[in-house]
Amino acid sequence: MSKILRESKILRWAILLIVSSVMAANYFFYDVLSPLQGKLREVMGFSNSEYGFLVSAYSIPNVFLAMAVVGGIILDKIGIRITGLLFVGFMAAGALLTHYGSCNYFIQGGIGYNFFNSFLTAYSPSLKMMVFGFFLFGLGAETSIVVITKIIVKWFKGKEVALALGTNIAIARMGTALAFMFSASLANSTPWNKAIWIGALALSIGVLGFIIYILFDIKIDRQIKENNPSGVEDEFKISDIGKIIKIPALVYITLLCVTFYSAVFPFLKYAPDMLVNKFGFNPEKAGMIAAILPLGTIIFTPLFGLFTDYRGKSASVMILGSLLIILVHLSFVFTTINPYIPMFVLGIGFSLVPAAMWPAVAKIVDQNKLGTAYGLMFSIQNIGLWLFPMLIGMVLDVSNPGITQEMVSNGEAVYNYTNPILMLSLLGLLGIVFALLLKREDKKSGIGLELPNVQA
């Protein structure tokens, strides 16, 4: 029997680095527009509601077309290689189109301008092109995350799986941090949309990175088959979806997923602008402060993953993370505490839940159904990621009647973010409820979520 590639610690961590770099490019592009909200109002003429619609377009394919579910099924049926290459390609193509919609060439009547000007004329062709690009990016992004998560479980199951998944998230969050740290500064140069181009270029390079991974995946599959020809898992069947959605623990962890991420990701879309308006920071400083959150996750997510690998307590960790989310949102509403502090605490909360949640799914669902289970979770999660950015934009406009970007730029008015953030704090409360139900189900069913992940 030959030694399987994943038994090499150096190689499996090298694989993690390759696929996590694709995730980092994904996360960079997902958040690259957040520090540019003011520029999009100023240069492109977008309202807050239109900005909310633009960033919500990411989730449309996963909410209304259930693409993360479909992608998860495709993943379980035809495997990592074809699925991953297809959906990473969608990400790169969508990012390039989003950038194209913001370019002067397109705005001045470039290829596609007349077509996008021929329908829904109340909206600018640039907005529609960027929405289409972000839609295509989202179509690929969520399934790509499912693919990468399954890759990591494949290479690390029975080993340091929570640490590996936590490290993957940490590397991905570096992309988020870089987006918040540098997008606003890059927008002050020419062209203003340089950060969007960098994100699109990084995703294009990510396609090449995934092709490199495919070479290793071919080898490890061959080794697994040669070493254990009788131990191949049962093939996934479409009928297995019904079995998956009847698992109570998966239902609770999915509901926790949607409430938790809806309380954080949409907040990040507006956090730089909120900091500008509430504290009077310039956009560059606001972006740097918002970057504290992903920078915190880079440090803490692997540490909390290591804790759950060797000490367990995954359900308890998720309860604590949800509680911290509530406290942070309420501090932004009711206090004027230095924003560095709540952003740092939010980074801790945003590390606790993912570090425990994603490895826990591998305990609840068999590996041959894991892609579909993650796909279901991501699709339901995207309901919140689609709905709440739009709701925040609409509530922000309704709560601040008559205020324009020109008035804000001239220091004559500020946007009041109280109502949108109160809305998000309620999501944190629901997250605690679902985490408590998950802990009760774990105790009842003996899943082992409170037990260590590393096999003795």
How far is CA 215 from each of CA 116, 118, 207, rounded to the nearest angstrom?
40, 45, 13
What is the rounded CA–CA span in Å between residue 379 and residue 399? 30
Residue 229 has pLDDT above 70, yes or no: no
Following DSSP, what letter does each residue of 178-195 receive, concatenated? HHHHHHHHHTTSSSTTHH
- What pLDDT score was predicted for residue 237? 65
The DSSP letter of residue 57 is G
Amino acid in position 191: P
Residues present in the chain in total: 456
Which residue range(s) make up the domain with 26? 7-226+233-445
Q: Which residue, 312, 407, 393, 443, is CA-closest to 34?
A: 393
Residue 230 has pLDDT above 60, yes or no: no
Query: Mean pLDDT across the stretch 102-131?
Result: 93
Following DSSP, what letter does each residue of 112-172 receive, concatenated? THHHHTSS-TTS-HHHHHHHHHHHHHHHHHHHHHHHHHHHHHHHHTTSSHHHHHHHHHHHH
How far is CA 360 from each of CA 57, 101, 158, 315, rounded to the nearest angstrom?
29, 40, 13, 9
Would you say residue 455 lies in a domain? no
DSSP-H helix ranges across 280-339: 283-290, 292-310, 314-334
CB count in 10 Å sphere of residue 10: 7
Q: Which residue, 200, 174, 168, is CA-closest to 33?
A: 200
Of the CA atoms within 13 Å of residue 9, those in its CB half-sphere come to 2
Q: Which residue, 269, 456, 285, is CA-closest to 448?
A: 456
Following DSSP, what letter does each residue of 215-262 receive, concatenated? HHHHHHHHHHHHH-TT-PPPPP-TTHHHHHHT-HHHHHHHHHHHHHHH
Q: List pLDDT tens digits, range 151-181.
A: 998 888 777 887 888 889 889 989 988 998 8
The DSSP letter of residue 6 is G
Task: Pick the more confident residue, 233 or 381.
Answer: 381
Element (H, E) at 359: helix 340-364
Query: Mean pLDDT across the stretch 15-41?
Result: 92
Please, what is the angle between helix 161-186 and helix 194-227, to 10°?
160
- What pLDDT score was predicted for residue 81? 92
Terminal-residue alpha carbon distance, the chain? 23
- What pLDDT score was predicted for residue 231? 46
Which of 55-64, 90-99, 279-288 reaches the highest mean pLDDT?
90-99
Q: What is the mean pLDDT of the chain?
A: 88
Would you say residue 454 lies in a domain? no
Q: By the 8 A CB rule, do 268 and 290 touch?
A: yes
How far is CA 322 from each of CA 246, 349, 388, 420, rounded to the nearest angstrom?
24, 7, 18, 18
Tell me the three state secondary structure of residue 374. helix
Q: List pLDDT tens digits, range 325-351.
A: 999 999 999 998 999 999 999 999 988
Domain count for the chain, please give it: 1
What is the rounded CA–CA span in Å between residue 423 and residue 392? 8
Amino acid in position 396: L
Q: List pLDDT tens digits, range 117-140.
A: 999 888 899 999 999 999 999 999
Would you say residue 456 lies in a domain? no
Percent above pLDDT 90 for the chain:
46
Q: Which two tokens stand for residue 230?
A: 């009788």
What is the rounded CA–CA span in Å between residue 304 and residue 297? 10
Torsions phi, psi of 347, nearest 5? -65, -35
- What pLDDT score was predicted for residue 239? 67
Of the pLDDT bands very low, low, confident and very high (cuts 50, 70, 90), residue 184 is confident
Of the pLDDT bands very low, low, confident and very high (cuts 50, 70, 90), residue 372 is confident
pTM for the complete prediction?
A: 0.75
- What pLDDT score was predicted for residue 16? 94
- What pLDDT score was predicted for residue 1? 43
Query: Mean pLDDT across the stretch 416-425?
Result: 92
Which of 60-69, 98-107, 151-160, 236-245 has the weakest average pLDDT? 236-245
Would you say residue 240 lies in a domain? yes
CATH of residue 365's domain is 1.20.1250.20
Residue 414 has pLDDT above 50, yes or no: yes
What is the rounded CA–CA span in Å between residue 14 and residue 26? 19
Q: Which residues contact 70 (CB under 8 A, 6 or more apart)?
A: 143, 375
Residue 291 has pLDDT above 60, yes or no: yes
